[in-house]
Chains A and B, each alone.
Chain A
Amino acid sequence: MGSTAKIQVNARNRAYQFEGDCGEKILNLGLSNAIGLPYECGSGTCGTCKARLVSGDIADRWPEAPGRKYLKLKKGEFLMCQCTAESDIEIEVESFVHTMEAGACVPSALKGRIASAKLLVHDVMLLRVELERGVDFDAGQFMLIQFPEVVGFRGWSMVNYQRHAESLDFVVKKQPGGKLTEWMFSHECEGLDVELFGPLGDATFYSRLGKNILCIAGGSGIAGIMSILSRAQQDGYFSQYNGYVFFGVRTMKDAFFLDELSDFSDSGGDKLEVTIALSEEEAPSSAMADYPHLNFDKGFVHEVAGRRMADRYKDIRAYLAGPPPLVNGAIGMLLQARVTTDNIRYDKFS
Chain B
Amino acid sequence: MSKNQQICNVADIPPNGMKSFKTEDGSKILVANFNDGYYAYSDACPHQGTCLGEGFYDGAVLTCHKHLWQWDITTGKPIGLAEAPLERYQVEVDGGKLFVKAASALRMAVLFADISEATKTRLERLTRRETFESGSILYDIGDTTDDLYILESGRVEFRFGRDDRTSAAGFILRKGEVFGWAALLEDQPLRIARAVCVEDSTLLRLNGEEAVELLSADPESGYRVMRQLNTLITTHLTSSGRQ
Distance, CA A328 to CA B170, complexed state (A): 34
| Chain A: CB-nearest residue to B173 | A94
Distance, CA A206 to CA B243, complexed state (A): 9
Contact of B242 among A14, A92, A202 (CB under 8 A): A202
B173 touches A10 (CB 8 A): no
Collect the chain B residues with CB atoms within 8 Å of residue A13's CB: 170, 235-236
| A175 contacts the other chain (CB 8 A) | no
Collect the chain B residues with CB atoms within 8 Å of residue A99's CB: 239
Instruction: Known contacts A15-B167, A15-B169; decide if A36 and B80 are in contact (CB<8 Å).
Output: no
Collect the chain B residues with CB atoms within 8 Å of residue A101's CB: 239, 243
Distance, CA A209 to CA B242, complexed state (A): 11
B65 touches A328 (CB 8 A): yes
Give the number of chain A interface residues (Cβ < 8 Å): 31
| A291 contacts the other chain (CB 8 A) | no
Min CB distance A106 to B, Å, is 14
Interface of B (DSSP majority class): loop
Give the number of chain B interface residues (Cβ < 8 Å): 27
| B70 contacts the other chain (CB 8 A) | yes
Distance, CA A336 to CA B235, complexed state (A): 29
| B27 contacts the other chain (CB 8 A) | no
Collect the chain B residues with CB atoms within 8 Å of residue A335's CB: 56, 58, 63
Collect the chain B residues with CB atoms within 8 Å of residue A336's CB: 58
Instruction: Known contacts A331-B56, A335-B63; decide if A8 and B238 are in contact (CB<8 Å).
Output: no
| A48 contacts the other chain (CB 8 A) | yes
| A271 contacts the other chain (CB 8 A) | no
Distance, CA A47 to CA B49, complexed state (A): 11
Distance, CA A92 to CA B168, complexed state (A): 10
Distance, CA A340 to CA B79, complexed state (A): 10
Interface centre among B68, B83, B167, B173 (most CB of A within 10 A): B68
B171 touches A341 (CB 8 A): no
B81 touches A14 (CB 8 A): no
B80 touches A14 (CB 8 A): no
Per-residue B-contact encoding for A95-113, CB less than 8 Å = 1, 0 else: 1101101000000000000
| A120 contacts the other chain (CB 8 A) | no
| Chain A: CB-nearest residue to B69 | A341
B170 touches A12 (CB 8 A): yes
| A11 contacts the other chain (CB 8 A) | yes
| A115 contacts the other chain (CB 8 A) | no
Contact of B68 among A36, A92, A94, A344 (CB under 8 A): A344
Collect the chain A residues with CB atoms within 8 Å of residue B65's CB: 328, 331
Min CB distance A40 to B, Å, is 8
Collect the chain A residues with CB atoms within 8 Å of residue B2's CB: none
Collect the chain B residues with CB atoms within 8 Å of residue A50's CB: 48
Collect the chain A residues with CB atoms within 8 Å of residue B168's CB: 8, 10, 14-15
23 A-B residue pairings within 8 Å (CB atoms): A10-B171, A12-B172, A14-B170, A15-B168, A36-B239, A48-B48, A50-B48, A70-B49, A94-B173, A96-B235, A96-B236, A96-B240, A98-B238, A101-B243, A202-B242, A331-B63, A335-B56, A341-B63, A341-B68, A341-B70, A341-B81, A342-B80, A342-B242
